[in-house]
A and B are shown apart, each in its own frame.
Chain A
Amino acid sequence: MSAPNRPIPAFDRQGELSQSERIDVAMRSFVRDFGWTAALHVESCVRCGLCAEACHFYRATGDAKYTPALKLEPIRRAYFREVGPFAPIVRALDLVPRPTTGDLERWQELVYDSCNMCGRCTLVCPMGIDIAELVRDMRHGMFVAGLVPERLALMDRAARQWGSTATPGEDLPDILAEVSERYGVAIPCDLDRADMLVTAAPAELTEHTKALAGAAKILDRAGVRWTMHREGFDASNVGFNNGDVELQERLTRALIDTAVKIGAKTVLLPECGHAYGAARWEAGKWYAGEVPVRVIHMTEFLDESLAAGKIRVRRIGESATFHDPCQIVRRGGLEAAARRVLAALGFELRELQDHGVTGFCCGGGGGVVSNVRSAPLRARVFEMKKAQVEATGAKHFVTSCGQCRITLEQGAKATQWTKSPESLLELVADNLVD
């Protein structure tokens, strides 16, 4: 495979590793991540390029360098040189070149700025290759090599120090008190015992506090004995996005161990896609037997509470379209749950042209929304989503992921688009009836 055809000026470095050390640690990480599923997926690629047609970054730009299969090139080379069936011959004859630091620097843009790990490419691949998962493995190697976009590295350092990218844990009670006062709803914090540990996304502690207040309102109405807790409150898991496995484990354990400590049976995740990916599907890596608590997404909680009659909502009776967050729907299996909640709200659902498991990503997932240098690319992806939303003619534009909301809000602001994405959670909270 050839390198991206244009020089890419944008890459950052962290740490003091030499060039060769960066390569060595990245290669070791790539190799360590190969189980037989990853190996099958690297081995099976026939380079048909169909994955490009599924990728919003390729579709928005037409630039071949955004082809998902190409994003895997360094890890492909690591596989065939170090793990593959003929690795000694490949190395001896240099049939597959060893990645250089220059390669990894160039690929930084492809795996961090222009991949949301949304997995749409997996669905179009005739070999069923899970490219999103391999990009995640690539990020592990890029992180240990100190080749992460600086903005993400900064968030990583904050989360290592505070357990959150938003605020240190000791400030949580004050933030929750402010939100309580502003919205007139109690938000319990640091209770010794509770049935449910409720967590937040960083935005819910800053600009999306209404969502947190809405969650509190719904939880109280559903009669849940719940609390937030300063020892485990931020579910967004920047370690998962950055490829920092050690941090990912720490942040995941903070949630689950805190829940166990207070006797909670359930960890409720906020409207955040990657929080769901990290805690629901990856927590098992660190709990040898079984994850000791149930981990659910806010959409599941709303769906279950409505189905059980624990909460009831007023029927809005207007048209709505729904943006499917990739980690919650395509990678998380909650396609039907969100639609049941929308139906309970009495919406006439007008589906986007691409919806459900084949819906386009917002363009901000996987940390891309926080990566300032990818803003121009995100703007082009936003235009695709905007066109699909407008084509529905729906009055409401709803989603169930705070990161998607932020991305879409940024896109709307940049294009003076009057439509603003609404939170499914907030719609339920605003329309609760006795």
Chain B
Amino acid sequence: MTLLEFARGPALAFAIAVFLLGSAWRLWTIFRLPRLADRSPAREGAASPAAGALHAIVRAMWPRRSFARWTHFLTLNGYVFHVGLAVVFFGYAPHIAFVRRLTGLSWPAFPDPVMYVAAGVTIVSLLFALLWRLTDPVRKTLSTADDTISWTVTFLPLLTGMAATSEPSAAILARDHAIYTTALSIHLLSAELLLVWFPFGKLMHAVLFAFSRGASGIRLSHRGVNV
């Protein structure tokens, strides 16, 4: 078995299994806990729990004016690398082809120049995030090993992906086999590392954020707080 066959075969299957089962397990262990219901009477005219949750989920997309001066850089930088990662993963033609082989699903790709810019901006943005975490006293005080690991497993697929991209998408897709097999294998393995780590660390916030925001939204809207 070649390294590429390993990365595309058992390693990928293992990573997907850990990602799905681990995420499901983490969610189950949260929701198996008791729901400590709020038994106080709701404020007259309070929004329904569903409306309160939805409002909080949407409202937290951008900081309030009171906080803007202090939080805009971090918020903006967060958006840049989150959107950048999504564009790179979902918009790059070879990635779409990879997903199509696995699932049969496909969608239109972005042009290559867009992808190169997106990847470059995302890398710079992630480096900013790392620099901020290593130098700012608040971030330094809060940081744990999870932050380092999560940053690393997010950054590596970008780096290895850039290394594996040496020709236009059309040329890559025109061939029925990969020619830069080592670079591609390392890229795939780095993405699989991200999938394996996902359920164990803070990357899980990609799923948890909606529940977490929603829970506070339900609590505060019950009280009639204008969140």
Which residues of chain A are near B224, meaning CB under 8 Å?
A: 333-334
The residue from B25, B56, B138, B225 contacting A64, defined by CB atoms under 8 A apart: B138
Q: Which of A101-149 contact B (CB under 8 A)?
A: 122-130, 133
Inter-chain residue pair count (beta carbon < 8 A): 178
Query: Does B40 lie within 8 Å of A85, measured CB to CB?
Result: no
- Tell which of A52, A123, A332 has the most Cβ of chain B within 10 Å: A123
Answer whether A124 and B208 are a contact pair too, CB < 8 Å, given A37-B215, A84-B29, A291-B40: no
Interface size on A, residues (CB 8 A): 67
Which residues of chain B are near A85, meaning CB under 8 Å?
A: 25-26, 28-30, 199
**B187-218 vs A, Cβ < 8 Å mask (1 yes, 0 no):** 00000000000011010110011011111110
| Minimum C-beta distance from B76 to chain A (A) | 12
Query: Does A1 lie within 8 Å of B67, measured CB to CB?
Result: no
Q: Does A174 contact B (CB under 8 A)?
A: no
Query: Does A358 lie within 8 Å of B66, measured CB to CB?
Result: yes
The residue from A41, A281, A283 contacting B215, defined by CB atoms under 8 A apart: A41
Answer whether A50 and B74 are a contact pair too, CB < 8 Å, given A41-B215, A44-B205, A129-B216: yes
Which residues of chain A are near B137, meaning CB under 8 Å?
A: 64
Which residues of chain A are near B31, meaning CB under 8 Å?
A: 36
Q: Which of A297-350 contact B (CB under 8 A)?
A: 329-336
Interface size on B, residues (CB 8 A): 60
> Which A-chain residue is minimally distant from B32 (CB atoms)?
A36
Q: Does B63 contact A (CB under 8 A)?
A: yes
Stretch at the interface among B104-112, B119-127, B141-149: B141-149
- Tell which of B139, B209, B215 has the most Cβ of chain A within 10 Å: B215
Which residues of chain B are near A130, meaning CB under 8 Å?
A: 215-216, 219
Stretch at the interface among A65-73, A192-200, A260-268, A379-387: A65-73
| Chain B residues near A (Cβ < 8 Å) | 25-26, 28-31, 33-36, 38-41, 43, 46, 56-57, 60, 63-67, 70-71, 74-75, 78, 136-144, 147, 199-200, 202, 204-205, 208-209, 211-217, 219-220, 223-227
Beyond known contacts A48-B74, A128-B215, A332-B223: 8 more, CB 8 A cutoff: A45-B202, A47-B202, A49-B136, A54-B67, A85-B26, A124-B64, A129-B212, A133-B219
